[in-house]
Structure 1
Amino acid sequence: MEPKISDFGLARIVGGKQTEANTSRVVGTYGYMSPEYALEGLFSIKFDVFSFGVVLLEIISGRKNTRLVQYEQRPLSLLGYAWRLWTESKVVDLIDPSLQGSYKEDQYVKCFKVGLLCVQEDPSERPTVPSIITMLDSETAAIPTPQQPAFVLRRGSTVASSSSSKPETTAEITATLEEGR
């Protein structure tokens, strides 16, 4: 697996010292863009938190956010599907079958909750990057209860059956928090 870093032109939209911007030129990948950016062109530091949450949920589920899941005769995005499983206390149903036996259930639930927290519709409800790292790294950190996330059905998305679809990815993620001088 070869990691690639792309900014899709975002670095040119937001200046070096800016933490927020408003633009009419939306660039990025649908399914990973925060709703405030995709719908209103509002860009902030919480944009990356939203994207991280999507990727985290993709990693633990083995599913892409751009593919719809058929659940109880309804097509749902990965975020919508994760939320339904959360509200029905079926969190472990989201896990990528290829991860079976390679994780502790409490660690999986922690990643699931953090993923949902990162994709909250209101950017102010999303955690900061340092708090995400603390929640994932600590055995004792309190993790708030997620609220319903932002999720949108997209035209042209493929529908996969929740029971028969195979995982599409198995990946790892490593976070490093660097401090300035």
Structure 2
Amino acid sequence: MRLTLEPLDTGRDLALLHAWVTHPRSVFWGMQDATPAQVRDDYARIAADPHHEALLGRADGEPAFLVETYDPAHSPLAGLPELRAGDVGMHVLVAPTDQPVHGFTRAVMRRVMKACFADPSVRRVVVEPDARNHRIAVLNEAVGFVVARHVELADKTAALSFCTRAAFHDSALGGAA
């Protein structure tokens, strides 16, 4: 399976994006009640922000996942003492489906982490999932993330977590694979 990333085009991808972020399985994305216009506006803001990027992921050419990368120093995490130069923040949402493919989400996570570390200036990837999201916690651990601590953000208690290049390389889903 070939997994690719491209800039999100809200004009082309809005209906798909809205269906993904408002799906009951996407509850931790925090957009359950968003209208199409709200989703469009949120992603237009991301597109205009030089510190935030949204990408559409495809599996063999078909839309299958959403990735956001961001500079944590220009995010709700700004000012946290754990942040360092060379950090990049990341969010990933695999499209909800009624026909899951075994190993697909793990393959997506590996591809996203490789994309983050493709930039030689990136030393660590930062994530801040909802602390109640146990499924993403397992996936994060499989690629080498370590929870630093829980932090209170405006919309959740987040499990602030970091993954170094070495931790990714040595992880169960490792960068060497």
Normalised-by-shorter TM-score class = under 0.3
Q: Which has the higher contact order (CA 8 A, sep 6+)?
A: 1
Considering fraction of residues, name the structure with more strand.
2
Greater Cα radius of gyration, structure 1 or 2:
1
Q: TM-score, normalised by structure 2?
A: 0.28
